[in-house]
Amino acid sequence: MRLGAILTYKAARHPGGEVTVSDKFLAEMQAYADRWPGPLDVYIGLTDTSDEVLGSSMLPQPTEALRFHTFEANTFGFDVIEQLPDVLLTAIDAPLHLVPKRCRDIPTAAVMAVEYTFKTRTKQIMAERQDLKGRLGGMKWNLTQEAHIVGAARAASGIQANGYAAYNYYRRFNSNTIVYLDNRAYESEMPTVQQVSERIENTFSAKQPLRLAFTGRLEARKGPLETVALASELTRRGVDYSFFVAGDGPQREELERAVSAAGLQERFDIAGVLDFVTELMPRMRTEADVFFCPHPQGDPSCTYVETLACGVPIVGYANESVSTLAEHTIGVGQVPMGDASAAADAVLALAATPASLRRASHAALGFARAHSFEREYDARVEHFLSLVP
C-alpha cells in the first residue's frame, strides 16, 4: 500500500543548493512512515526564503519507507495524483483544494488536513490588518476561500481536523471527519504526576513569586502585548509574580517597549527563541505555574497540548481553541476576550492554594498524555487505513 502527502508546507532552497525542512515537519512525516505498512511519498514545494524558527535540517535521502520529492512552489501540477497512491493526504489551500475532486475519478482516497474555520480566519485578518482596505480585501479572499474549502471537504474521502473547533465545523460537510491535536509532546518527555506535585509544593513552601509563562510567535495573531496588560493588573493588586516569555517575531520590540513603559522590566524575562527539547520544555516543566494564552483568534496551536504536557494549566482568552479545549479539561480555563482583569482573577484562583493548582495541573497532564504525539499519529494512520479497501 502506498501513502502520499502533498501539503502547503514548503522547503527552503539555499544558495549552495542545499534544501532544508523544519524538524517538526520531518518528525511528522517520519511518524506517518513508521506506522504506515508501505512507502510514503512526500511532495513539497521549494522556496528561496525561509522564516523557520523551530529548527531545520537537510532534506533526508530517500529510504524504502520515506521518500521526499520537490517541485517549484509556483508550478504545482497534479502529476502526484497520477502516481496513484492508495491514500493521499492533502490540504485545503488553493490549488490543493482541487485534489479531492480529482481523486474521485481514480482509485485514490483523498484525506484533507484542516485547521482554520471561517471564524478563525476572520479573526486572523482582523488581528493582522488594521486598515479598512486591508480588512475588506482579506474578507473577500476569505469568502472565496470558504467556497473552495466547503466543496473540497464534501468531495474528500475523509478529513483530519486539527482541534475541536475545526472538527465541529468541518464534520458538517463530511461525516468521515476525525479530530487530532497537533503537538510535539512525547509521552517519554512528560513529567510524572509526582514531579508536578513536587513542583507545586516547592513553589508554595518556598513562598516563591507566582510564575507565569507565554511562549510562541510574537505577532499580532498571538496577542503577546496582552501579557503586559495582565502583568499590570497583577501589579495593581500587589501580587508578587514573574513573567517568562519565549519566542520571537515582529512584535518583540513593541513588547519590550511596553514592558519598559509600564516599569515591569524586573518582572519580565523575554528569552527569545529557545531550543524546544533542551531549553523550552525543561524550563516549562520546572519554572512555570500558569500559562497565559491571549490569542485573539483560535488557531489550533501546538502550544496548547505542549504546555499541558508540562503539567502547566492554561488561562486564555475565549477564542475557538481555548473555548473548546475548556469543554474537555479543567486544565484550560477561559475568560472574556481582552479582559485582563478577568484573566488575573482566573490566574489567582488557580494559584490560590496548592490543592487548586495541583488539581488543574494534574488534569492538564492527564489530558496531554491522552493526546501525546504518539497517540495522535496512531489515530491518524488508523484513519488512513480505514479508507483502503
Location of C-alpha cell 480566519: 121
Provide DSSP, 153-209.
HHHSSEEEEESHHHHHHHTTT-SSEEEE------GGGSPPHHHHHHHHHHHHHTTPP
Q: What is the pLDDT tens value at each position of the chain, 389 positions in all? A: 999 998 888 889 988 889 999 999 999 999 999 999 999 999 988 888 765 556 789 999 999 999 998 888 766 656 666 677 899 999 987 788 888 988 888 889 999 999 989 898 899 899 889 898 899 998 988 888 888 899 999 999 999 999 999 999 999 999 999 999 999 999 999 999 999 999 999 999 888 999 999 999 999 999 999 999 999 999 999 999 999 999 999 999 999 999 999 999 999 999 999 999 999 999 999 999 999 999 999 999 999 999 999 999 999 999 999 999 999 999 999 999 999 999 999 999 999 999 999 999 999 999 999 999 999 999 999 999 999 98
Q: Where in the chain are all domains bearing CATH 3.40.50.2000? A: 3-181+373-386, 187-370
Q: Grid coordinates in use for 35? A: 506506522
Give the start-end residues of each E strand in the chain: 3-13, 19-22, 40-47, 56-58, 66-72, 87-91, 109-114, 158-162, 177-180, 210-215, 241-246, 268-272, 290-293, 314-317, 332-335
pTM score:
0.93
Distance CA(206)–CA(1), nearest Å, equals: 58
Given this model, what pLDDT does residue 56 score? 86
Task: Assess whether the previous peptide bond of 95 is cis (omega < 30° from 0).
Answer: yes
CATH number for 3-181+373-386 (one of 3.40.1190.20, 3.40.1190.10, 3.40.50.2000, 3.40.720.10): it is: 3.40.50.2000
Assigned CATH for 187-370: 3.40.50.2000
Helices 340-350 and 226-236, packing angle to 10 deg: 70
Q: Grid coordinates in use for 375? A: 497517540
Q: Grid coordinates in use for 130? A: 488594521
43 burial via Cβ count (<10 Å: 0-12, 13-18, 19+): buried
Q: Grid coordinates in use for 174? A: 463530511
pLDDT in tens, 20-60: 999 999 999 999 999 999 999 999 888 887 655 567 899 99
Given this model, what pLDDT does residue 78 score? 64
Given this model, what pLDDT does residue 304 score? 98
Q: Grid coordinates in use for 16? A: 549552495
Given this model, what pLDDT does residue 54 score? 61
What is the 3-state composition of the chain as percent helix, strand, coil, each rounded to the nearest 5? Answer: 45, 20, 35
